[in-house]
Amino acid sequence: VQSRKQQIGGQIPWQLGSLHRLEELWINSNNLTGTIIPQSLGNLSSLRVFYAEENRFSGGIRDVLGQMTSLEELIVASNNLLGEIPASVFNLSSLTILSFGVNKLHGNLPREMGLSLPNLVHLDMAENQFSGSIPASLSNASNLVILQLQFNNFTGRMPGMESSHKLSRIYIYQNSLGGGKADDLSFFSSLPNATSLVQLFVHMLLSHNRLSGTIPISIGSLTNLGELDLSHNMLSGEIPASLGSCAKLEMLSLQSNLLQGTIPSSLSSLRSIKLLDISSNNLSGQFPKSFEGMKLLQLLNLSYNSIEGEVPSNGVFRNGSIISIVGNGKLCGGKKNAFSHKLIIKIVISTVSSVLLLAFVGSWLLIFWNKKRGKQDTVSADDSQLPLSYRDLHKATNGFSGANLIGVGSFGSVYKGLLDKTLKNIRHKNLVRILTVCSGIDDQMNDFKALVYEYLANVVHCDLKPSNVLLNEDMTGHVNDFGLARFLQPTGDPSSIGQMSSTIGIKGTIGYAPPGKRLILDTYKCITTEYGMGNEVSKQGDVYSYGVLLCEVFTGKRPTDEIFKEGLNIHTFVRTALSEKLMAQVLDPVLINELPLGQATPFDAISSSNTQETKKKKGQILEEVLISILEIGVVCSSDSPNERISIGEVVTRLVSLKNLLHDKFAQRQIGGM
C-alpha cells in the first residue's frame, strides 16, 4: 500500500490490521494524526516496510509494534511522538533501518541493542531528548553504515567502532559527549585496525560536545575521509601533521578548541579541501604560504589565533574574500582589498563603484531639486560627503578593536564606532544614505577603501535577529550586518535573487532562521531551515525571522531559551497563549509593570481627573494593541511560507495600530487636561 504525499488527514484506519499478507505500507508525507500504531496493526505479521515519517502523529509508541516480527525498515521520523521507545522494538532482529529522528522521545538506548539488531544498516535517533551513554554494543553492529545521534543529550565516551566494518558516516554532534579526560578520542585509535573502515569513512561530525584530549595521529589513516568536524569542543595539543594524508578531505573544522602550536604545512596537501576552519584556538607561528596551492579552497578561517607573518597574495588568495583573519594582530600584507578585519564601522565593502554611482545620482538629483525650487540648500553635495581618513575611522572604532566588532560577513567586517556629530547629523534623500567615503592607505601601507552607510535597501537579509537591529537616539531601528544577505534584482521578483551570499552553506541563526525540509545524507550538517544548503532564499524567510523577533521583544524570551523544548517553540508558545486568552502570562514582566493591562496606564499621570472607567478603557485599548502585535508575530513565524503575510501587510497593520494608539490617547489626554 502506497499513499505518499497525498495530503491525507485523519487517523490510520483500524481495518488495515486485517490485511495479514501486507508487506509494505507507505503513508509518509501526509497529515495523518493520532496514534502511529493502532492496536490492530499488531496483526500485520508479514509487514516488512513501514514508512510513516513527516506526518502529525503524536502520543506514545505502543508495544504492539514489537509484534511485527518481519519488519525490516521502520521509519517514523519527523512526527510528534512522545515518551520512550518500547523495549520490544529493539528485539526486531530483522531491522535494517530504524529511524525515530526529529520527535520528542527520551530515555536511554538499550545496552545490548547492537547485539539484538545484528542486521542494522541505518540508525537514526537524531533530534530527540535521549540521554545516557551510547551503547558500546553498537560496535558489534557489523552491518551499520550510518549512525545519526545528533542533537540529543548523550554523555560519556564514544564507544570503539572497530567491528562496524561498514560504518561510513557518524553524526553525533550537539550532545554532551566526553568526560574531560585525555582519552575522549581514544576510539579514533582503534579505527586504523579495521581495514575496511579506513577505506569507507566519509563523514565524521562530532562538534558541540565536551571532548577533551588530543587529536590522535592515527586519524591520518582514514584516507577516504571527506568531512571532519571536531569544532566547539575542548581539544588541546597540536594539529597532527598526519591530517595531510587525508587526501579526499573537503571540510575540516577545528574551530573553538584549545589547540596550540603551529599550523602543519602538511595541510597544504589537502588538494580537495573546500572549507578549512581552525579559528578561535591558540595557534601561533607563520602563516602557511603553501596554502596558495589549495585550488578548490572556498573558505579559510584563521580568526582569533596568534598567527603572524605575511598573508599570501598569489594562487587561491587572489580571491581575497575566501580568507578571514580577524583577531591576528601580527599579520600583514595580503591581497589588496582582501577580506581583512581592519575595514570599517558599520561598513561593508561591496561593489564600491555601483554604490558610489547611487550616491552620485542621489547628489545630482538633490542639486537639481534645489535649483528647481530656487533655494540654496545649507548642505551641498560636496559638503555632505566630508572626507574621512583611515586615521579617523581607526580612532572612531578604537583601532578596529575586537570589542567594537559587530559581525563578519561575506563582504567584510562590520564595526561600530562614534563619528563626529557633524557627520552624524547629515541628511540626504538618496536611496542609500551614504554618510561618507574613505579611500587611502592603512597603517600597514595597504590600499584602504570604505563606505560608511546607515542601511542597504532591496536585499533579503537572511539573518534578522535583535543583535542585528540597532537603535539610534530617536529609538529608530536600523538593520545592520548584511554578511549573509542576497541582493534583489530591480524587478523585485524573489525568484531572481542574486548570487551574492556568504560562502558558508548554512545561513541564518538557530531560532530565527525559518524551518524547512530536513536534509540528512551527503550534507555538511543536518539542515532544517529554508536557508539551508542549496535552498533558495526569499523575502518570506525574513518575514519569519521578523515574526520571531516580534514575539521575542514582547515576551522577553529568546527562541533558544531553555523552556522551549519537547516541541514547544516561541511561535507555539505565543499562539497557544493567544488562543487561550492568556496573553498576560506570556508578556514580558517588565512590559506588564509599565503597562498594567485593564488598569491605569502611565499616560494617566498627565491628569489626575481621569476616572477609573477611563483608565480601564485605556488598559483595554493597550491590551487589544498588544494582542494584535503578537498575532502579527505569530502569523509571520508560521512554519509554512504560504501561511505568512507579506512584509507590506505587516507595515500596514503596525502603522494602523500606531495611529490607533496616537488617536485614542491624544484625545483622552486633551480631554483630561
pLDDT of residue 444: 53
pLDDT, position 338: 39
| Rounded (5°) CA angle 361-365-371 | 145
Identify the pLDDT of residue 126.
Answer: 94
Find out whether 519 and 527 touch, Cβ atoms under 8 Å.
yes
Alpha helices, DSSP H only, in 456-600?
539-555, 570-579, 583-586, 589-594
Give the alpha-carbon dihedral of 494, 498, 499, 500, to 10 degrees. -120
Q: Which of 184, 229, 463, 604 is flagged as catalytic?
A: 463
- What pLDDT score was predicted for residue 423? 46
Pairing of strands 344-345, 330-333: unpaired
Per-residue confidence (pLDDT) for residue 285, from 0 to 100: 92
Residue 589 has pLDDT above 70, yes or no: yes
Look at 133 and 527; give whichever has higher pLDDT. Answer: 133
Instruction: Work out whether strand 251-253 and strand 227-229 pair parallel, antiparallel, or are unpaired.
Output: parallel
Q: Which of 175-184, 239-248, 384-393, 601-610 has the lowest mean pLDDT?
A: 601-610
Query: Which pLDDT score, from 0 to 100, does residue 1 have?
Result: 57
Give yes or no for a contact between 586 and 553, defined as CB atoms under 8 angstroms apart: no
pLDDT score recorded for residue 483: 60
The tens digit of pLDDT for each residue in 251-278 reads 999 999 999 999 999 999 998 899 999 9
pLDDT confidence band for 666 (50 / 70 / 90): low
Distance, CA of 572 to CA of 291 (rounded, Å): 48
Q: What is the 3-state secondary structure (H, E, C) of 491-532?
A: CCCHHHCCCCCCCCCCCCCCCCCCEEEEECCCCCCCEEECCC
DSSP string, 354-379: HHHHHHHHHHHHHHHHHHHHT---SS
Per-residue model confidence (pLDDT) at position 499:
37
- Who has greater pLDDT, 17 or 402? 17
346 neighbors 322 (Cβ within 8 angstroms): no
CATH class of 246-340: alpha beta
- Assess contact for 415 and 435: CB atoms under 8 A: no
- Beta-bridge partner residues of 42: none
Report, as an integer, the average pLDDT of 586-594: 78
Sheet with strand 405-408: strands edge to edge: 344-345, 413-415, 405-408
Residue 213: pLDDT above 60?
yes
Lowest mean pLDDT among 427-431, 581-585, 662-666: 427-431
Element (H, E) at 394: helix 390-396
Q: Where are the domains of the chain?
A: 246-340, 539-673
Residue 568's alpha-carbon distances to 76, 233, 279, in angstroms, are 20, 28, 34
Q: For position 597, what pLDDT does the model report? A: 52
How does pLDDT run across 399-418, given as a tens digit for each residue?
777 667 665 554 556 667 77
Overall average pLDDT of the 546-575 stretch: 86
Alpha helices of 58-201 — where are they, by DSSP H? 113-116, 186-190, 195-200
CA atoms within 13 Å, Cβ hemisphere of 284: 4
What is the pLDDT at residue 560?
A: 81
Q: Is 351 exposed, middle or buried (0-12, 13-18, 19+ CB in 10 A)?
A: exposed
Do 301 and 291 meet the contact criterion of CB atoms below 8 Å apart? Answer: no
Average pLDDT of the chain, as a whole number: 75
Q: Express as a percent the part of the chain with pLDDT over 70.
A: 67
Q: 537: Cβ–Cβ under 8 A, 6 or more apart, which residues? A: 460, 462, 486, 497, 501, 507, 530, 531
The predicted model scores a pTM of 0.52
pLDDT of amino acid 458? 56
CATH class of this structure's domain 539-673: mainly alpha
| pLDDT interval class at 60 (50, 70, 90) | very high
When pLDDT is cut at 50, 70 and 90, the band that residue 431 belongs to is: very low
Tell me what pLDDT residue 608 has: 41
The percent of residues in the chain predicted with pLDDT above 90, rounded, is 25
* Cα torsion 372, 376, 381, 382: sign: positive
pLDDT of residue 81: 93
The answer to whether 382 is a known catalytic residue is: no
Task: Kindly report, residue by residue over 18-27, the tens digit of the pLDDT.
Answer: 888 899 999 8
Residue 33 has pLDDT above 70, yes or no: yes
